[in-house]
Amino acid sequence: MAKDNHSVSPTGGRRKALPPACIALLLAILAISFGSRALAQTATPGTTDPSQPFFAPAPPAGFDPVGASDADLKTYGFPPRPALVSAAYANWVRIVTAAKTPIASPTLQRTNIIHGPAKNSGQIGGVADTGYSSANWSGIGVTGSSPNYFKANGSYVVDVFSVPAINTSVENCSYGPYYATIWAGFDGYGYGNGAYDVLQAGVDAIACGTASYQVWFEWWTWGCDPNTQPTCGENVIPNFPVHQGDTIVVVVTYYSASPNGNAFIADYGTGQYTSVWFNQATSPICNCPYSGDTAEWIVERSGHGSPIVYYDLADYGYFYMEGTYNGILPGSGPASGPDYFTMICMTQYPWIPSNACANGTTLSYVSSYNPTAGQIVFTPTGPTIQWNQ
């Protein structure tokens, strides 16, 4: 069990910025762009084209998610309702009542950006629970009380955070862009550190010139091709506006019936929200189904291409997120942990440029975690040069 204000890496924060249904599903017509191509999607989720993502229909005027049936909640893409007597119920009410205005005619933009599992992670000695070094992750995760724990129908992970400021004055943009990606999801490190899929959603913070932000979802699967498979790489929702200081909630849910994945994303300040359904991409090289072993809350430097090239880490500043899994705070309940991930530079690999950073340099880490509030504090220690993996 983690302790309050548990420090897992040397202090390195330089500044503090932001503290704290009965109706048939409508056919969704989506425009997915890749390069200069636009692909119209008209299939019904889970039937004729189960691999494609589809937005949930907007509910009728006056729809009350708190009083709605479970079937109606699922039809309109709201997170599953916890038990009325549970401690998670009040937080669920806050989430669904904050979602007042669905994004009108939401669109998708397919990219070749990849948000995958923890890479080159190695265990760090002397850290309570388990600490890992990673080339691309910083954050915490929890491991289910048994294999496939998060494969239970309606398993969900919640991430609430204030979009951090991005320092755009420190990059060498000849190596740009710089990314700091904030997300929550499942399966990123798995039992025995053998993750073959990651079900996830979050926000990209992008630097070089003016900072920009975008919401996205992905179901990464080992060996799948983001250039041809819609849910393999990042899918951005370009007409969902996100700005510095916005309070965003991301809920990622796994369902045992197709479509299996749902990403619900809302802005507490504006009341805008969207909900998208999608299935796992298939892999041409392995049978890699969703395993549901772990849940995680991460700040990542994302990558692209095959073999993957990681982007520089954007200087995101100090910020925190609040996380829960199935309505439970990390560090309590049936899942063990939390495990900690510290993003470090790894110049022992010959394909990393010598001017990237000193080997073992900490790039981003969890400076404290409060298990009584689920509050995870992230601190960067500097941007880096991109490198191949």
Residue 171 pLDDT > 60, yes or no? Answer: yes
- The neighbour count for residue 12, using CB atoms within 10 Å, is 16
| Angstrom distance (rounded) from CA 272 to CA 125 | 44
List of residues 6+ apart from 191 with CB closer than 8 A: 143, 147, 291, 293, 294
pLDDT in the model for residue 29:
28
pLDDT in the model for residue 385:
66
pLDDT in the model for residue 206:
92
pLDDT in the model for residue 18:
37
Tokens of 165: 């400021």
Q: What is the mean pLDDT of residues 125-154?
A: 83
| Angstrom distance (rounded) from CA 329 to CA 335 | 10
The length of the chain in residues reads 389
Burial class (CB in 10 A: 0-12, 13-18, 19+), 105: exposed
Buried b (16+ CB within 10 A) or exposed e, 70-84: eebbbbbbbbbbbee
- Cross-strand pairs, 178: 207, 312
Residue 41 pLDDT > 50, yes or no? Answer: no
Tokens of 55: 């937005």
pLDDT in tens, 172-228: 777 778 899 999 999 998 654 457 899 999 999 998 878 899 999 999 998 888 777
Given this structure, which CATH class describes domain 30-388? mainly beta
Q: What is the mean pLDDT of residues 11-19?
A: 36
pLDDT in tens, 65-105: 999 999 999 999 999 999 999 889 999 999 999 999 999 99
Buried b (16+ CB within 10 A) or exposed e, 360-379: ebbbbbbbbbbbeebbbbbb
CB 217 within 8 A of CB 198: no
Q: Which DSSP helix (H) or strand (E) runs through 91?
A: helix 89-98
Residue 46 pLDDT > 60, yes or no? Answer: no
pLDDT in tens, 340-376: 999 988 765 544 444 456 677 889 999 999 999 999 9
| Angstrom distance (rounded) from CA 370 to CA 233 | 32
Structural domain boundaries of the chain?
Answer: 30-388
pLDDT in the model for residue 357:
66
pLDDT band at 121 (very low <50, low <70, confident <90, very high): low
Report the chain's C-alpha Rg in angstroms: 19
Q: What is the mean pLDDT of residues 43-69?
A: 77
Say what the pTM is: 0.85
pLDDT in the model for residue 130:
80
pLDDT in the model for residue 27:
30
pLDDT in the model for residue 38:
29
Question: What are the backbone dihedrals phi and psi of residue 384, each rounded to the nearest 5 degrees, phi first?
Answer: -135, 170
SS3 helix, strand, coil % of the chain, rounded to 5?
Answer: 5, 40, 55
Residue 31 pLDDT > 50, yes or no? Answer: no
